[in-house]
């Protein structure tokens, strides 16, 4: 029997380009990271950094003019052969089985992920029957069980409701229930708490954490909210302008960030210790992907950038800054006063 890999998903040098009238846009440009089996990995960064494009690539949901032009996305199931998702044919049964079966996704906005003209029960049951051999009655039983598991009261009566009859928090729970209905080995959660109020956000965070603990589902969490990251994830990968700039154990990275972008994100977090002073922020905004700056992509906004060093040549590569930690900054030693 073949040994099961420690990582359920391994993304290696992934490149996703969009060919537009303005030219080639490198939305994802050489991204490499892995998701350990049973862990939650947070992919964080500001809007426009390429997080969602990365997650859509895992399920091959990139539409023209976008295209995966390089790299690999290797899925290692608990049972069965390892597969490079980028090599699967668009019409292959194997890709169909992966989507919603072995790998499920919680989309960012539940109202666009759910059909407004079908009941919640019909939509969950359809997903179950597409990927399994359950009868309609068995699928309905599983659907009710999943709604109960995600904390929806009176689950059987909710099956007959339409999405517009539910609150935003309830709809998000339905999307989570649908994603988990086929017992996937891996879950992709794309900004699952963005459109929710603070109280519901906390409930969804606890829900994802408890489901990950009870079901052992590996999770890729896409977010720009470092508060959510601190509560939920085991490992973190920080993304900026299509590239990973820092990654490692979440506690270590948040306690001692090495890349200036990660430092800026953490300094921007609100704190009860702050009085009336202005909340720190990162100067400027994420540049257009079509106008990528030379050298380090973060240098135009970086307080530690040095002219003639950071703005020259190719973007710096990730390098080791301790056990299991990587960062992509050419001035790591000068900024931190220590060797990497």
- The pair of three-digit structure tokens given for residue 157, joined into one six-digit string: 């009566």
Which range has the worst mean pLDDT, 63-67, 96-100, 260-264? 96-100
List, for residues 31-81, the tens digit of each pLDDT value. 999 999 989 999 999 988 999 999 999 999 999 999 999 999 999 998 888
- Please report the DSSP string for 27-57 in residue order: EEEEEEEEEETT-EEEEE--TTSSHHHHHHH
Q: Is the pLDDT of residue 3 over 70?
A: no
**Reported confidence tier of residue 291, pLDDT bands at 50, 70, 90:** confident
pLDDT at 158: 95
As a dihedral over the C-alpha atoms of residue 284, residue 290, residue 293, residue 299, rounded to 10 degrees, the angle is: 30
- Of 146, 103, 148, residue with least CA distance to 125: 146
Query: Of all residues in the chain, what percent carry a pLDDT higher than 70?
Result: 95
- The pair of three-digit structure tokens given for residue 330, joined into one six-digit string: 């050419």
Q: Where are the domains of the chain?
A: 1-102+184-269+279-340, 117-183
Average pLDDT, the chain: 88
Which range has the worst mean pLDDT, 81-90, 153-162, 283-292? 283-292
CATH code of the domain made up of 1-102+184-269+279-340: 3.40.50.300
Q: Is the pLDDT of residue 205 over 70?
A: yes
């Amino acid at each position: 029997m073949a040994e099961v890999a420690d990582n359920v998903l391994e993304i290696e040098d992934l490149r996703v380009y969009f060919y537009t009238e303005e030219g080639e846009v490198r939305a994802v440009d050489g991204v490499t990271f892995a998701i350990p089996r049973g862990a939650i990995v947070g992919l964080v960064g500001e809007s426009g950094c390429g997080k969602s494009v990365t997650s859509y690539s895992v399920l091959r949901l990139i539409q023209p003019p976008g295209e995966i032009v390089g790299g690999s996305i290797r899925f290692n199931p608990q049972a069965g052969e390892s597969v490079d998702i980028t090599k699967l044919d668009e019409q292959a049964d194997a890709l169909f089985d992966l989507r919603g079966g072995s790998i499920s996704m919680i989309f960012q906005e539940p109202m666009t992920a759910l059909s407004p003209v079908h009941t919640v029960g019909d939509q969950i049951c359809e997903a179950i029957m597409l990927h399994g051999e359950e009868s309609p009655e068995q699928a309905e039983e599983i659907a009710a069980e999943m709604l109960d598991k995600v904390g929806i009261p009176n689950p059987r009566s909710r099956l007959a409701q339409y999405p517009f009859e539910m609150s935003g928090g309830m709809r998000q729970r339905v999307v989570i229930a649908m994603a988990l209905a086929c017992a996937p080995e891996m879950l992709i959660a794309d900004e699952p708490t963005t459109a929710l109020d603070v109280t519901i956000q906390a409930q969804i965070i606890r829900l994802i954490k408890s489901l990950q603990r009870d079901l052992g589902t590996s999770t890729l969490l896409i977010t720009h909210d470092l508060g959510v990251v601190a509560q939920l994830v085991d490992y973190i990968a920080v993304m900026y302008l299509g590239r990973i700039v820092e990654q490692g154990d979440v506690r270590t990275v948040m306690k001692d960030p090495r890349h200036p972008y990660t430092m800026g994100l953490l300094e921007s977090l609100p704190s009860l210790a702050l009085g009336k002073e202005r909340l720190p922020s990162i100067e400027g905004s994420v540049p257009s992907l079509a106008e990528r700056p030379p050298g380090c992509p973060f240098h135009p906004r970086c307080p530690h950038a040095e002219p003639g060093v950071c703005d020259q040549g190719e973007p710096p590569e990730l390098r080791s800054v301790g056990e299991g930690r990587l960062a992509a900054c050419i001035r790591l030693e000068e900024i931190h006063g220590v060797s990497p």
